[in-house]
Structures are given as C-alpha cells and as structure tokens.
Structure 1
C-alpha cells in the first residue's frame, strides 16, 4: 500500500482516519499532533521570553512514551531560549527492570544533551519496590504503592528544579482508559480534578496553587503509534512491562477499549473529545459548589512537609506501614 501523500510504501494504516502513511509522513504526523496539543493547551505562555524562560520537567522513565515525548520536545524546543527542559527519572528499585530503563534514559539524555536527574525510592524513602511487594503491609497492588511514591518524588523534585510545568508521557490509550474508569466508577469529582490537574487548557484551568501544573502532550497519540515512532526513530526505549504491574481493573478497561476500537475505529478519540468537554464543565461546577471555590484546605505533612489534606500524608503513612513489618 502506498503512502497517501507520496509514492513510498506505507508503514502504518490508521483505521480511525483511513490514512496510509510512509515513515517520513507518519513521523511528521505524530510530531504535528504533539505540537498542536502543546499549542491548544496554551502550554507556552505569551509572556515566556529568553529573559523570563519556562522550566519544563519531563518525567522520563525510559519507556516508549516518555522517550518519544522527550525526543519530540527536544526537537521542538531544544534550541528555544524560552524553554529549559529537564529530564527527571525515578528509580523504584525493581531488579532486572528499572536498571535497564535508566540506562535507556541516560543514553537518550546523552544523545540529545539534555539535563538529566535520577532519584530513587531507596535514597529518598529507604525502600525498594521489590521489598515493598514482598511485605505488602496494606494488601494493595504494587502499582498503588508505587504511584504514591512516584508522584511525591516527581512533584518534590520538579519543585526543587523550579519547574513551571511537569510533563508526563501519557498517550491516548492511557487517557481514554482513565476517562472510562472515572465514568464507570461514577467519580464525577475525579473528572473535575482530571481537567484542572493535567488535561485542561492552561488558560482555562484553576490555578494549581501549591502543586506544579501537569501536562500530557502525547494524549492525542495512540499507544501503537508511539511505539512505532520510537522504533522508526531508533530511540533507546526500554519496552518491557514492569514485573509488578497488576492493575487488574485498568487491564479489563484496556481490553474493552481495544475491542471497541477494533470494531469502531475512532472510539478512543471520541471518548476523549467528549470527556474533556464534560470535564471542563464539571470542573467549573465543582469550583463553585456551596458558594465556594471547590478547593480543599491543605496542610503541611507533620513528618515530611509535603502538602496533604490530613496531618500525615499518604506517602509517610505507607512508609511507616512498610517499616513496621
């Protein structure tokens, strides 16, 4: 099959659009959609100048999504004096898995000459995920522990580096799964938080206050296209599933969406188009509930100083539980 835009052989067919694209036109299409998302989300403020630059911290795990995101951001802004890019890698302490992905991060950072910082659970919390999984004091999935620890370190070090925004490599499949899970769980407030926290236009979001604003520039790109882009660009991505990954419910949603997409191409895009519009409306409603602004009063965790709605943050409570075993 020939590329729709030239006579070269097509390397991919997008059933949701009907497009057949060769290697060059496919890669250009991915890059165009990421840059359009950055523009439509108003990620680069009008007052950003070489004298008043933005600092964007990228959560670089070494997987295909974060590697592709970092590559495209460097291609787009690597020589733009208005933007400083910093890659932040979290080492969870997973034998035979994370070391290889950290190597991929180091290789990419060296290739594109970007500032790269690595922090670990062991150094910061005194725990390794391999040991946490063995102890499992809260009888939870490994991802539940890991998510709390990772979010804490991303937020804390992004703040330490003076980040204006924290960028993650969530793709279209990831976001459509989250949207559907929020609907099926009836979690309307989480839908509102999702908009303000990471998917809304920055000109329309509520001020993040104490937290670093997040962005997901890959959220229009299907997972398979991210993987193909990484392969075609020969990027050093470590494409292996975490051995402790066990999000059973999300896995069911993933399979459901894949089947729907196969039978009804464009389902993921349709879900996100409607979801983002509803999320914005819901966010506005929650901001004004009971005549207030819908915000939650935050305290400083009495143990680590991070922001929390309680006296002790979730991370500190989990670490205490792990140490007690």
Structure 2
C-alpha cells in the first residue's frame, strides 16, 4: 500500500483516520500531534523567558512511551532556552527488568545530552518490589503498592528539582482506559480530579468567535500542593508509539513488568481493543467526550475554590495528604512489620 501523502511505501494504516503513511509522514504525524497537545494545553506559559525558564521533569522509565516522549520533547525544545528538561528514572527493585530499562534511559539521555537523575525504592524506602510482592502484607496487587511509591517519588523529586511541570508518557490507550474505568465506577469526584490533575489546559483560552476567555475551554483548577502534571503523548495510540520507537531506532525496553497484575484494567484493555477494532476511532471519541464531561465535573467538584481541598501534611514524611499518615508511609509500615 502506498502513502496517501507522497506515494512511497506505507508503513502503517490508521484505521480511525483511513490514512496510509510512509515512515517519514508517520513520524511527522506523531511529532505534530505531540506538539499540538503542548500548544493546546498551554504547557509553555507566556511569561517563560530565557532568563526565567521552565523546568520540566520527565518521568523516564525506559519503556517505549517515556522514551518517545523524551526524544520528541528534546528535539522540540533543544534550541529553546525557555525550557529545561530533567529526566527522572525510578528503580523499583525488580531484578533484571528495571536494570535493562535503566540502561535504555542512560543510553538515551547520554545521546541527547539531557540531565538524568536516578532514584531507587531501596534507597528511599528500604524496600525492593521483588520483596514487597513476596511479603504482600495488604493482600494487594503489586501495581497497587508500586503506584503509590512511584507517585510519591515523582512528586517528591519534581519538587526537589524545582520543576514547573511533571510530564509523563501516558498514551491514548492509557487515558481512554482510565476514562472508561472512572466512568464505569461512577466516580465523578475522581473524574474531576483527573481533569484538574492532568487533562485541563493551564490557561483559559478563547473559543472561536468568543469575545473573551470566559466562553472558551475551561482550564484546570490550581493545585498548589503538587507540581502540575501533563501528558503530551495522550493523543497517540499505543501501537503507534511502539512503531515510532522502532522506526526511530530508540533504545526502548519493550517488556512487560513481571509483577504486572491489574486485572480490572486488563479487562478494560480487552474491551477497548475489541471496540476499536470493530469501530475505529472509539478511543478518540471516548476521550473527546470524557474531557468535556470531566471539565464540567471539575467545575462542580474540583479543587477550584480556595479551601475546597483539605490537604495537610503527613506526620511521618511531610507529604501532602488528607490523612495523618499518608498512604505511602502506611504501606511501608505494613511491609516492614512482616
């Protein structure tokens, strides 16, 4: 099949758009979508200058998503003195698996000459995920422990490095799965939180024909307790991210974590794959509608008014939490008690 743009041999067919694209036009299309998302979410504020640059911490795991995101961000802002990138890698203590992905992170950041920081569960928490899985004091899936620890370290080190934003490599499939899970669970408050945490733009924007910004797309609510997050890769399907990494010969470590066991999300993945195969564009439609609903939910339930979110500090570690002892410290107590 030939590329619809230039007639060269196509390397992919996007069923949701009907387009056949050659290698060059496919890579360009992914770059374009990521850069458009950066513009639409207003990631680069108007007051960013070479004298007052933005620091963006990128969660770099070594997997395809974070590797592709880091590569695109570097090429986009390499010559822009308003943006400084810091790659943050977290080693959970999973024998073999994470060691190889860390090597991919080091290879990429050395090649791109990006500042790279590595932190470990063992140094931070005196635990390794291999041991946590074996002990399992709470009777939970490994991902439940790991997610809490990972989020804590991402937030902690984003603050430590004075980050203006924390960027993660969530792709379209990831976000559509989360959207569907939140909806099926009927968790309106979580939908609102999702919007304010990572979906909404950073500034109000005018809609075409509007005389002021009040009629334009809603911006996320301010959350002063955390470094704000963004997901520039969230318009790109997972398979296209993998193809991009392959075509660009990026050092991605494409292997599933041996402890991955999110059963419910796995069911949602299978459901979405079937829907997308039979009805191309389903993921895009889910996110288009979900983002509008999430904005409305955030208007009603989100952290938009001062005092709406009653956050304090963990008595143990000082992290922001609604409890006396944060979830991370509570889990660590259970693990060390075994």
Scaled to the shorter chain, the TM-score interval is: over 0.9
Q: Secondary structure at the match of 2:13?
A: strand
- Tell me the CA shift for residue 18 of structure 1: 0.2
Q: Secondary structure at the match of 2:47?
A: coil
Q: Which residue of 2 aligns with 1:30?
A: 30
Q: Which residue of 2 aligns with 1:176?
A: 176
- Tell me the CA shift for residue 296 of structure 1: 2.1
**Equivalents in 2 of 1:18, 1:284: separation in Å?**
36
- Tell me the CA shift for residue 33 of structure 1: 0.3
**Equivalents in 1 of 2:102, 2:289: separation in Å?**
37
Q: Which residue of 2 aligns with 1:50?
A: 50
**Equivalents in 2 of 1:305, 1:288: separation in Å?**
21
**Equivalents in 2 of 1:229, 1:52: separation in Å?**
33
Please, which of 288, 292, 310 is the counterpart of residue 297 of structure 1? 310
Q: Which residue of 2 aligns with 1:101?
A: 101
- Tell me the CA shift for residue 286 of structure 1: 1.1
Q: Which stretches of structure 1, 4 residues or longer, exceed 6 Å deviation after superposition?
A: none
Kept in 2, the 8 Å contact 1:286–1:294? The answer is no
- Structure 1 unaligned blocks of 5 or more: none
What TM-score does the superposition give when structure 2 sets the normalisation length?
Answer: 0.94
Kept in 2, the 8 Å contact 1:109–1:115? The answer is yes
Q: Which residue of 2 aligns with 1:253?
A: 268
Q: Secondary structure at the match of 2:110?
A: helix
**In the alignment, structure 1 residue 165 sits paired with structure 2 residue 165:** yes
**Equivalents in 2 of 1:271, 1:49: separation in Å?**
36
Compare 97-106 and 201-210 and name the one that shifted more. Answer: 201-210
**In the alignment, structure 1 residue 76 sits paired with structure 2 residue 42:** no
Q: Secondary structure at the match of 2:118?
A: strand
**In the alignment, structure 1 residue 223 sits paired with structure 2 residue 223:** no
Kept in 1, the 8 Å contact 2:223–2:303? The answer is no
**Equivalents in 2 of 1:294, 1:181: separation in Å?**
28
**Equivalents in 2 of 1:248, 1:156: separation in Å?**
29
Task: Number of aligned residue pairs: give it.
Answer: 323
Q: Secondary structure at the match of 1:85?
A: strand
Superposed CA deviations along residues 46-81 of structure 1, whole A, max 9, x for unmatched, are 010001100000000000000000000000012210
After superposition, where does 1:1-325 map in structure 2 within 5 Å?
A: 1-203=1-203, 204-287=219-302, 295-325=308-338
Q: Secondary structure at the match of 1:297?
A: coil
- Tell me the CA shift for residue 295 of structure 1: 2.3
- Tell me the CA shift for residue 287 of structure 1: 4.0
- Structure 2 unaligned blocks of 5 or more: 204-218
Kept in 1, the 8 Å contact 2:225–2:320? The answer is yes
Q: Secondary structure at the match of 2:8?
A: coil
Q: Secondary structure at the match of 2:61?
A: coil
- Tell me the CA shift for residue 300 of structure 1: 1.2
Q: Secondary structure at the match of 2:133?
A: helix
Kept in 2, the 8 Å contact 1:59–1:169? The answer is yes
Cα RMSD between the aligned structures? 1.1
Residues 272 and 294 of structure 1, relative CA distance in 2, 3 Å threshold: farther
**Equivalents in 1 of 2:306, 2:302: separation in Å?**
4
What TM-score does the superposition give when structure 1 sets the normalisation length?
Answer: 0.98
Kept in 2, the 8 Å contact 1:78–1:85? The answer is no
